[in-house]
Amino acid sequence: MGGYGSGMSRSYKKSTADDCLQLDSNNFARCGSFKLGMRYGNIKWSQGEHEIGTCGYWSDIRESEASISFLYNERHVPIRLSWYAPGFGGRRYFFLCPVCGRRTRTLFFNQAAIACRICHDLTYESCNKSHHFDSLYKRMVE
């Protein structure tokens, strides 16, 4: 006989930063991907010897505007880029989140979307400011 609560499932898992693949614009720039001109390539994420994700991209970097498109999970996601020019020359790039338009240095990829940390609702577990809210929530559900 099934006891009380035996049908309950704990399969729901809130997404955390670890569940997402991250793309940092500084790392991306270091690979030469933000040089002026058009280029395309492949981004790969690996864990040890295992490839855990891959994404195609093509970038279009000009003097006056810059954008990049990702091909991820068979979806085409265009992302606009913004930048500033630090004193020592060159440019520092930011992604503009395709969901909310915020400037972000890191994009997060998961099955559902490519977006910034906030859009992926990742701050809940990683941001200290939400701690108060965290305990309040727990008290309510207990």
**Contact residues for Zn ion, defined by CB under 5 A:** 97, 99-100, 115-116, 119
- The nearer residue to Zn ion, 53 or 98, going by C-beta atoms, is 98
Geometric angle at alpha carbon 9, from 8 and 12, rounded to 5°? 145
If the CB atoms of residues 55 and 122 are measured against Zn ion, the closer one turns out to be 122
Q: Minimal distance in Å, beta carbon 136 to Zn ion?
A: 25
Cα torsion 122, 77, 64, 30: sign: positive
Give the shortest CB-86-to-Zn ion separation in angstroms: 24
What ranges in the chain are assigned the alpha helix state H? Answer: 25-30, 123-126, 131-141
Least separation in angstroms between residue 80's CB and Zn ion is: 12
Nearer CB in complex with Zn ion: 71/96: 96
Nearest approach in angstroms of CB 99 to Zn ion is: 4
| Alpha-carbon distances, residue 3 vs 9, 11, 141 (angstroms) | 14, 19, 22
- Position with the least CB separation from Zn ion: 97
